[in-house]
């Protein structure tokens, strides 16, 4: 696209209610693997994607039509970026609100800054859930040592202390097993504004993806069963017979959240399930989610295509699942002894390989994922775990 064409786009009056047809330009804040897969879905549908990121080299930057490198604090740069696209979305929730507000003055941002403000701060998120009558993990806000000591006294131990903002995959959080360890735990996360959450003795973790269009239509995926290792999602599986009983309730909660937040886009609602089938909402992610990566290979419409459809005001796609599936994350640890054995794992015809194009591998870094398709979810999980083990055989 030429500069003249870009300027022509920026001078056009954009209606938040008119659908954006293929050929339009979508802007995205963020440049990780979620942005990469979103971009690939958008381009397949005929859209152009422009990227705004602080990174010079990134997974999304490898595939986007155009990349703007800059700081989110540079509101003039953000405005220049917004003028050259027709809608903006994001692939991570920690975009500074000032940048999102500035962009929204020029072009629709989906989900809206209001959604982002609610879910990027854990205390605001929990209070929102309380206000709409949804059961979440018990919590207390913490902004001082005295707050923390009072919170520990009320919630008891064990409990989990998390930074109020940012933090993911276990970063910015610490478990407190004894009251006398509370202050040192708070110091370990930088004595930052935090939230203390009561410990839930759960039997399973699960997620629901919910997409909502500009017309209020909603489509959902799941429940997806999730297993973690060292606080990082390890394996996701769907459908699981053990979740059939609570699935309708979890979907109902996700629909309520996406409606009450007035989301246009896709969100993930993460739950704890107790042994007596109680559901506790743990977190909300206002974007596609790691647990939904298996939708690329196992559903008629992937979570990324659904995100494109919602932010462009197009009709939602069906979320029919084509067959049982399981997804396993590939972390940088797999590269410790050299390049993984791709040839051998791809000899398994039911395995799908997705790599994110990251320049360097390091322990704990998400480098890609495998998806296995099988006759049952249990078999798919067995296959994907076995395939991941094969990657390190020499």
| pLDDT computed for residue 288 by the predictor | 97
99-131 pLDDT tens trace: 999 999 999 999 999 999 999 999 999 999 999
The pLDDT value recorded for residue 5 is: 26
Q: What is the mean pLDDT of the chain?
A: 92
Q: What local confidence, expressed as pLDDT, does residue 145 receive?
A: 87
Task: Tell me whether domains 13-109 and 138-198 share a fold.
Answer: no
Tell me the domain boundaries of the chain: 13-109, 138-198, 202-390
d(C-alpha 293, C-alpha 369), whole Å: 8
What CATH number does domain 13-109 carry, 2.60.40.1220, 3.10.310.10, 3.40.50.10170, 3.40.50.20?
3.40.50.20
Q: For residue 56, what pLDDT band results from cuts at 50, 70 and 90?
A: confident
* Architecture (CATH level 2) of domain 202-390: 2-Layer Sandwich (3.30)
Class of 138-198 in CATH: alpha beta
The span from the CA of 83 to the CA of 200, in Å, is 46
**Model confidence at 3: pLDDT above 80:** no
Please give the Cα distance from 46 to 40 (Å, whole number): 10
Is the pLDDT confidence value at 214 over 60?
yes
0.75 surpassed by pTM: yes
Q: Is 60 exceeded by the pLDDT of residue 304?
A: yes
Q: What is the pLDDT of residues 136-170, one digit of tens each?
A: 999 999 998 888 999 998 998 899 999 988 766 55
pLDDT at 4 over 60: no
Strand partners, 373: 325
Averaged pLDDT for residues 304-325: 98
| Greater pLDDT, 316 or 181 | 316
């Amino acid at each position: 696209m030429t500069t003249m064409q870009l300027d022509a786009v920026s001078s056009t009056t954009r209606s938040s209610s008119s659908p954006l047809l293929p050929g339009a330009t979508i802007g995205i804040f963020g440049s990780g693997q979620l942005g990469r897969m979103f971009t690939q879905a958008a381009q397949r549908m005929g859209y152009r994607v422009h990227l705004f990121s602080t990174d010079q080299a990134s997974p999304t930057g490898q595939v986007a039509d155009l990349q703007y490198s800059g700081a989110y604090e540079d509101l003039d740069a953000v405005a220049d970026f917004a003028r050259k696209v027709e809608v903006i979305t994001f692939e991570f929730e920690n975009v500074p609100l000032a940048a999102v507000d500035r962009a929204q003055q020029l072009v629709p941002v989906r989900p809206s800054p209001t959604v982002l403000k609610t879910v990027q701060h854990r205390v605001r998120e929990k209070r929102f859930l309380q206000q709409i009558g949804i059961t979440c993990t018990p919590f207390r806000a913490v902004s001082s040592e005295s707050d923390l000591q009072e919170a520990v006294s009320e919630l008891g131990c064990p409990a989990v202390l998390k930074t109020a903002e940012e933090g993911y995959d276990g970063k910015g959080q610490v478990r407190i097993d004894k009251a006398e360890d509370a202050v040192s735990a708070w110091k370990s996360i930088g004595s930052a504004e935090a939230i203390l959450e009561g410990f839930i003795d759960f039997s399973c973790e699960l997620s629901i993806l919910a997409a909502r269009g500009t017309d209020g239509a909603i489509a959902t995926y799941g429940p997806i069963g999730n297993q973690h290792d060292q606080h990082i999602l390890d394996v996701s599986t769907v459908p699981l017979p053990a979740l059939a009983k609570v699935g309708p309730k979890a979907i109902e909660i996700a629909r309520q959240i996406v409606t009450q937040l007035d989301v246009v886009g896709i969100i993930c609602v993460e739950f704890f399930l107790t042994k007596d089938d109680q559901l506790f909402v743990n977190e909300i992610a206002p974007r596609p989610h790691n647990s939904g990566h298996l939708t690329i290979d196992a559903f008629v419409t992937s979570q990324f295509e659904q995100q494109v459809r919602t932010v462009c005001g197009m009709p939602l796609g069906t979320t029919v699942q084509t067959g049982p599936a399981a997804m396993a994350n590939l972390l940088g640890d797999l590269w410790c002894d050299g390049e993984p054995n791709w040839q051998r794992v791809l000899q398994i015809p039911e395995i799908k390989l997705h790599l994110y194009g990251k320049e360097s591998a390091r322990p704990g870094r998400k480098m890609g994922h495998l998806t296995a398709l099988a006759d049952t979810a249990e078999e798919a999980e067995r296959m994907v775990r076995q395939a991941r083990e094969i990657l390190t055989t020499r």
